[in-house]
């Protein structure tokens, strides 16, 4: 199993969307470095556990991106804890996290828990709506959030999130330049080999989500595309 800092390509599966066994096998056996299980709404204990058990038939690494405490169970290689740094409401920066630690703080295993400093940039995404994210940011603003996550909060992951829409490569390029220790994750709107390669030049890890459900063949092609691109 590859450790998170070695991931180049990951697929994000949404517990709130259905996927056939055949498609899931193709995703898990695609050569991707990990499967992240997570979504912004409709994430329950039942649908998340069901997906975890199905993914566990394969040897690929599996992480839970925690967006609801209800879905938090043992059994993952990693637990990703998002914090939306440009959220309009503190609840999504530290509030939910504080609540979680009050309930489960004593269960933490530090090696498996990874903080993600999110910068949410597509105003049409559900995650932007839910967190009331301020997406009207220029390159310097995003760069400052990336430095905050990396150099001040020392988060292991800086996540540039354009969920549902393809982002601005120049922003990802600049973020990668200023980040010193964290891994830069890029996710959003990757639907083709060209888009995957464009962002793979700049980000450490490319996250591919929705296209799995819209066009599985195209999704599978992104794995090789990312792997053969140098960052
Ligand atoms: C029991 C056990 C194993 C315990 C171990 C200890 C442990 C892990 C304790 C918990 C630690 C902790 C601090 C947890 C935080 C809990 C929490 C709920 C935090 C809030 C996270 C947050 C900011 C959520 C907001 C939404 C978000 C960022 C979701 C991530 C996924 C995402 C961006 C999906 C994309 O959504 P989108 O494309 O917009 O919408 P679609 O669904 O249409 O795709
Ligand atoms: O679903 P897409 O748009 O591929 O985005 C991937 C991921 O960053 C979503 O959190
Ligand atoms: Mg999505």
> Ion ligand 3 — residues with CB under 5 Å?
163, 209-210
Q: Measure 103 CA to ligand 3 centroid, in angstroms.
A: 28
Report the percent of the chain where pLDDT is more than 70: 100
pLDDT-derived band at 191 (thresholds 50, 70, 90) equals very high
> What residues are in contact with ligand 1 under a 6 Å CB criterion?
14, 38-41, 65-69, 72, 74, 79, 81-84, 92, 96-97, 100-101, 104, 107-108, 113, 118, 125-127, 130-131, 161, 163-164
Q: Output the residue whose Cα is nearest ligand 2's atom 4.
A: 209
From residue 81, give the alpha-carbon distance in Å to each of 35, 84, 108, 215: 15, 10, 12, 28
Fold of 4-227: TIM Barrel (3.20.20)
**Which of ligand 1's atoms lies nearest the C-alpha of 17?**
42
pLDDT-derived band at 38 (thresholds 50, 70, 90) equals very high
Q: Tell me the H-state helices in 89-192.
A: 95-104, 126-131, 139-147, 169-178
Task: Dump strand ranges (E) for the chain.
Answer: 9-13, 34-37, 61-65, 78-84, 113-120, 157-161, 183-187, 205-208
Q: What pLDDT score was predicted for residue 63?
A: 98
> What residues are in contact with ligand 2 under a 6 Å CB criterion?
12, 161, 163-164, 187-190, 207-211
Dihedral sign computed on CA atoms, order 77, 81, 86, 87: positive
Asked whether residue 37 is marked as a ligand-binding residue, the answer is no
Give the number of the ligand closest to the Cα of residue 186.
2
Q: What pLDDT score was predicted for residue 106?
A: 87
> Does this model's pTM top 0.90?
yes
Tell me which residue of 138, 209, 207 sits closest to 175, measured CA to CA: 138
Asked whether residue 40 is marked as a ligand-binding residue, the answer is yes
Residue 198 φ/ψ, nearest 5 degrees: -55, -50
Q: What pLDDT score was predicted for residue 108?
A: 83
């Amino acid at each position: 199993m590859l450790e998170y800092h070695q991931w180049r390509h990951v697929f994000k599966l949404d517990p709130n969307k259905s996927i056939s066994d055949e498609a899931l096998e193709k995703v898990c056996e695609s050569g991707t470095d990990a499967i992240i299980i997570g979504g912004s709404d409709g994430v329950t204990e039942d649908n998340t556990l069901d997906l975890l058990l199905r993914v566990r038939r394969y040897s690929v690494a599996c992480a839970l991106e925690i967006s609801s405490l209800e879905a938090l169970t043992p059994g993952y290689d990693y637990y990703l804890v998002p914090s939306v740094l440009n959220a309009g409401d503190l609840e999504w920066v530290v509030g939910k996290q504080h609540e979680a630690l009050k309930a489960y703080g004593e269960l933490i295993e530090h090696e498996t828990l990874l903080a993600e400093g999110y910068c949410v940039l597509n105003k049409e995404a559900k995650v932007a709506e839910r967190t009331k994210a301020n997406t009207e940011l220029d390159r310097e603003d995003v760069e400052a959030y990336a430095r905050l996550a990396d150099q001040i909060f020392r988060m292991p992951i800086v996540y540039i999130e354009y969920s549902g829409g393809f982002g601005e490569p120049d922003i990802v390029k600049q973020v990668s330049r200023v980040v010193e220790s964290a891994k830069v994750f890029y996710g959003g709107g990757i639907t083709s080999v060209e888009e995957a390669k464009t962002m793979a030049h700049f980000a450490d890890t490319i996250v591919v989500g929705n296209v799995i459900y819209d066009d599985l063949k195209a999704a599978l092609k992104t794995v090789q595309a990312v792997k053969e691109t140098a960052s």
